[in-house]
Amino acid sequence: MNLEQERIVGKTKVDDDVVIKIEDLHVSFGDNHVLKGFNMVLKKGENLVVMGKSGSGKSVLIKCMVGLLTPDRGYVEVLGKDIGTLDQHALDELRSHIGFLFQGSALYDSMTVRENLEFPMRRHRNRFGADQDTLPYVMEALENVGLAHTLDLMPAELSGGMKRRVALARAIILRPKLIMYDEPTSGLDPITAKEIIELMRNIQKKYGTSALIITHDVDCARVVSERMILLVDGTNYAEGTYGELLASSNPMVNAFFKK
C-alpha cells in the first residue's frame, strides 16, 4: 500500500486509492449461508470482475455494498464510507456517485430516451442545481454510447442492444466515480455484447471510472477486467488476472473457463 495515499479520519484509516473494501462478509438467510467470510478490494480506476455460478451470492454482495441488505457480520466500505454507519440520506448521497447497469435495461417504458436520462439528474438535483440545463449532459452521455439520434425516441422503438446502451448512458450521466455492472451482456447476441464491452472499456478510459462487474460471460471478463475474483462457497476462492486464472491447475477454477 502506498502510505502517502493513507489519511486518518477520526480513528479510521482511509486509503484514497481504495474504492470498495469488503472484509469478512457474512450473510445468511435462515440455514442458507450465502457469504461466509468474503473479502475484496477494488482500487481506483480498476475494472474488477466477480464471477460466481448462479445462486452463489453475487446479487447479495451488491446489495450489501449499496446498503440494501445488512450483513450478519463484516465490514463494507464504498467510496470511503463505512456502509454500516450510514443513514438513508447518506446512503442516497453515496448512491448518486455510483452508476448502475443491472440485468435487463430497466428503462422507463413511458418516458422518452431523454426523459430516462434526465431522471437521475432530477433525483439528485442538489448535485447540479435546480435550473441546470440537463440537455448537454444527456447529449454527452448519449454520444458516449453512439446514440445521440435516439434522444426523442421511446424505449419500445429501440433494439435490445440499443436499450442496453441507453441504460449505460443513464448509468454515467451523474459522472459516477464507480459503476456497478450486474450481467451487462446477458441476453445479448455476441456482436452486441462485444459492443457493450467496448463501450465499458471506453468509459473507463475516458473518465477513469472504477468498475465492479458481475458476470458469467468469460469473454466479457477477458476483455474488461484487470483483475478477477471467483466467488465459490461464499468466499473469494481465487483471485488474479484473467491469464493467471486461466492457467490455474485447480479444477474448480478451470470450471469457470469451460464453454
Ligand X SMILES: Nc1ncnc2c1ncn2[C@@H]1O[C@H](COP(=O)(O)OP(=O)(O)OP(=O)(O)O)[C@@H](O)[C@H]1O
Kindly identify the residues of this chain, within the stretch 42-81, that bind ligand X according to CB under 6 A.
52, 54-60
Instruction: Note whether 13 and 218 are within 8 A (CB).
Output: no
**Closer residue to ligand X in complex, CB, 57/176:** 57
**Closer residue to ligand X in complex, CB, 25/174:** 25
Residue 212 in 3-state DSSP?
A: strand
Q: Is 236 in the site for ligand X (CB under 6 A)?
A: no
User: CB under 8 Å to 105, separation ≥6 — which residues?
Assistant: 155, 160, 163, 164, 166, 167
Report in angstroms how near the CB of residue 170 gets to ligand X at its nearest: 21
**Closer residue to ligand X in complex, CB, 31/87:** 31
DSSP string, 161-211: HHHHHHHHHHHHTT--SEEEEESTTTTS-HHHHHHHHHHHHHHHHHH--EE
Binding mask 3-42 for ligand X (x = CB under 6 A): --------------------------x--x-x--------
Instruction: Note whether 234 and 33 are within 8 A (CB).
Output: yes
Amino acid at 8: I
For the chain, give percent helix, strand, coil, nearest 5. 40, 25, 35
Size of the site for ligand X (CB under 6 A): 11
**Closer residue to ligand X in complex, CB, 29/108:** 29
Length, in residues, of the chain = 259
**Closer residue to ligand X in complex, CB, 63/201:** 63
Kindly identify the residues of this chain, within the stretch 174-193, that bind ligand X according to CB under 6 A.
none
Report in angstroms how near the CB of residue 50 gets to ligand X at its nearest: 9
**Which residues contact ligand X (rule: CB under 6 A)?**
29, 32, 34, 52, 54-60
